[in-house]
A and B are shown apart, each in its own frame.
Chain A
Amino acid sequence: MSVKQLSVFAENKSGSLCEVTSILSETKINIRAFSVADTDKYGVIRMIVDDPRKAAYALSEAGKIVNVTDVVGVQITDETGGLDILLKTLAANGINVEYLYAFVSTAANAADVVIRVSDNGATEKILTEAGYTLISDIDIGKK
């Protein structure tokens, strides 16, 4: 049920991000979500795209270091406190979140959240039991 996330290594220098986005644009990849985590020396670009395989191939062909990680995708209602309730649910069940980011969902009045945890299976079970709708690559691929 998980979502495939691409991460790409980028040095902290001008043009690094643009290089990655232009490779994807040339390959006709639609970037659904984009987030950057960085230190003072380098960063990790994390992305959800409509065709992760094709994107990973194009990036590594261009000499980039790419990782494909399974992350948990979940839909929350686009209203005040939506993210807070989600995080409380996870914390209450002892799930440690490494990072997360949200993006506009294809469903109406909803936001999609990508969560990086160490145990995808356990997290998905907890969320399903709490009544959340999980999303998968198929949902992401939908235009």
Chain B
Amino acid sequence: MTRYYQKEIETASPEQIREWQNERLLKTLQHVWDNNKYYRKKMIDRGVLVGDVRSVDDLWKLPFLTKDDLREAYPYGLMSAPLSDCVRIQSTSGTTGKRVVAFYTQADVDLWEECCARAIVAAGGTKDDVVQVCYGYGLFTGGPGLNGGSHKVGCLTLPMSSGNTERQLQFMTDLEATILCCTPSYAAYLAESLYEKGMRDQIKLKAGIFGAEAWTEEMRHDIEEKLGIKAYDIYGLTELSGPGVSFECEEQSGMHINEDHFIVETIDPETGRVLPDGERGELVFTSITKQAFPLLRYRTKDIAVLSREKCSCGRTFVKMSKPMGRSDDMLIIKGVNVFPSQIETVLMNKGLTSNYQIVVDRLGTTDSIEVKVEMTPELFSDTINSIEVREREITDALKSMLGIYAKVSIVEPKSIVRSEGKAVRVIDKRKLYG
């Protein structure tokens, strides 16, 4: 039952895709060069002129953009279209520093929504479906993106936004929603609530499109089983448009990147060197169809692997793995890349919201990793045996996530050192030895 939103694009030959990319890259680069002083200066500083880039093969010559650039250029510095052509802004919920604001012309919004429509159709959506969108609406891109995509497919769209679980469940059952769009943790919470209220048999859901946060395969199976659906991953960044930069097909083994809109590269986060497909590295995207806010070689800090293996769904777009972590948090332990976010995901999936700390050490020439977890009421029991069972579960889950053994130590609540109220997540003692 393979279905596509735009068949001729999504299943185009690699040569055709490359042709689109070459043509659109040059057009976008000229557009940015002509209209964006900030990036033009970056190019000149690097000694690259617009004519030096003749095809995708020359992409490496261009300077990177980072979130710091976006902050520095806030708010209008990276605009490439007159403000009068823009119709929309979206913004990221920055926890540190200035927010990042992205601008859209009507054409930009349409292309973004098309990307989301592809994701919905890949998840089995048709105009007969009822799509319940409980991502936040507003500055956050989750709600508006999927909402627009759902309209494009022609689905009845329920613009629920986030929260108010009672009302979510009422609409889900009364209006017989068939596709659920939200964060994976909220999907798990909705599933839980359905069981609690004895409403599990009143739902008509068949699929879910879940993104905007890290989740594991284990969590996917859990949600799929509880809701009786297929759960699809979706990826995107506000800076690049929003959700729909890439999306999963029925194979559920990585997300197809919309390569007619984005050129993807993976780089070594340390050196910036471009890596071959199949090697784990930081994702770098170049938007090639946007007017208002096209970003060239934007470093996402997300670490993932690209695969060009033929997909059974018939789509020819390259697939990216679920991001494994953030490049600036990466630890190398026993030669293996470990991300604190992976550990946090494991703990979260085990229902542990407690404080944790990762201690990396070296004994002789062998690295060791210890994960300290503060005791919580959920983890505690009066019998040592049940605490040990939980401890082993966490150890096993970490092993399967990280690929290496990590010692788990349960410590007293509030015993993990905090600095200015925030827990210190990683202590790398190896640095002490230089």
The answer to the question of B329 belonging to the interface, with a C-beta cut-off of 8 Å to chain A, is no
The answer to the question of B411 belonging to the interface, with a C-beta cut-off of 8 Å to chain A, is yes
Residues of B343-394 contacting chain A, CB below 8 A: 375-377, 380-385, 387-388
Are B413 and A63 touching (Cβ within 8 A)?
Answer: yes
Closest residue of chain A to B384 (Cβ to Cβ) is: A37
The binding surface of chain B is classed by DSSP as: loop
The answer to the question of A22 belonging to the interface, with a C-beta cut-off of 8 Å to chain B, is no
Hey, which chain B residues are within 8 Å of A41, CB to CB? 409-410
The answer to the question of B414 belonging to the interface, with a C-beta cut-off of 8 Å to chain A, is yes
- Given A41-B409, A65-B413, check contact A9 B375 (CB 8 Å): yes
The answer to the question of A67 belonging to the interface, with a C-beta cut-off of 8 Å to chain B, is yes
The binding surface of chain A is classed by DSSP as: strand
Are A39 and B388 touching (Cβ within 8 A)?
Answer: yes
Residues of A55-113 contacting chain B, CB below 8 A: 63-65, 67, 69, 98-99
Q: Within the assembled complex, what's the spacing in Å between the Cα atoms of A64 and B61? A: 58
Hey, which chain A residues are within 8 Å of B414, CB to CB? 63
Q: Within the assembled complex, what's the spacing in Å between the Cα atoms of A63 and B388? A: 22
Are B410 and A44 touching (Cβ within 8 A)?
Answer: no
Chain A 29-53, CB-CB to B under 8 Å as 1, else 0, gives 0000000011101101010000000
Q: Within the assembled complex, what's the spacing in Å between the Cα atoms of A10 and B412? A: 7
Q: Within the assembled complex, what's the spacing in Å between the Cα atoms of A7 and B380? A: 9
Q: Within the assembled complex, what's the spacing in Å between the Cα atoms of A69 and B415? A: 25
Hey, which chain A residues are within 8 Å of B415, CB to CB? 11
Are B409 and A116 touching (Cβ within 8 A)?
Answer: no
Shortest distance in angstroms between B370's beta carbon and chain A's nearest beta carbon?
11
20 A-B pairs besides A63-B414, A69-B382 with CB distance below 8 A are A5-B382, A9-B412, A9-B413, A11-B411, A11-B412, A16-B412, A37-B383, A37-B384, A42-B375, A42-B410, A42-B411, A44-B381, A44-B384, A44-B387, A64-B412, A65-B376, A67-B380, A67-B382, A98-B383, A116-B382
